[in-house]
């Protein structure tokens, strides 16, 4: 996974400048999401129903996005 170029908030419309703490929390949320997605992939190897795994993956991606937006607090129109 590539690293995003750091933003100071002034180049992306609708976003505030993130603090070091904000960035740390968002990166931890993303780490948890990646770990969960890896566990889902492992579960497929043990015979888990791929349809449910796919739904769980989608829901985790949404949860991570929602959590990161909660931290970043972008404008309502973003």
Model confidence over 13-72: pLDDT tens digits? 888 888 999 999 999 999 999 999 999 999 999 999 999 999 999 999 999 999 999 999
- Please tell me the distance from the alpha carbon of residue 25 to that of residue 64, in angstroms, as a whole number: 11
CA dihedral 34, 35, 39, 41 (to 10 degrees): 30
Quote the Cα angle for 3-67-71, to 5°: 75
Using alpha carbons, list the distances in angstroms from residue 56 to 12, 26, 42, 78.
Answer: 31, 20, 13, 25
- Please tell me the distance from the alpha carbon of residue 35 to that of residue 41, in angstroms, as a whole number: 10
With respect to residue 27, please indicate whether it lies within any of the assigned structural domains. yes
With respect to residue 77, please indicate whether it lies within any of the assigned structural domains. no
With respect to residue 14, please indicate whether it lies within any of the assigned structural domains. no
Please tell me the pTM assigned to this model.
Answer: 0.79
Tokens of 1: 């996974």
- pLDDT for the residue 7: 58
Q: Which domain holds residue 55?
A: 20-72
């Amino acid at each position: 996974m590539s690293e995003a170029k750091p933003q100071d908030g002034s180049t992306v419309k609708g976003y505030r400048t993130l603090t070091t703490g904000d960035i740390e929390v968002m990166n931890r949320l993303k780490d948890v999401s990646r770990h969960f997605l890896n566990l889902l992939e492992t579960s497929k190897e043990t015979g888990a129903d791929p349809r449910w795994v796919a739904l769980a993956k989608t829901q985790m991606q949404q949860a991570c996005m929602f959590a990161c937006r909660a931290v970043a607090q972008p404008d309502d129109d973003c």
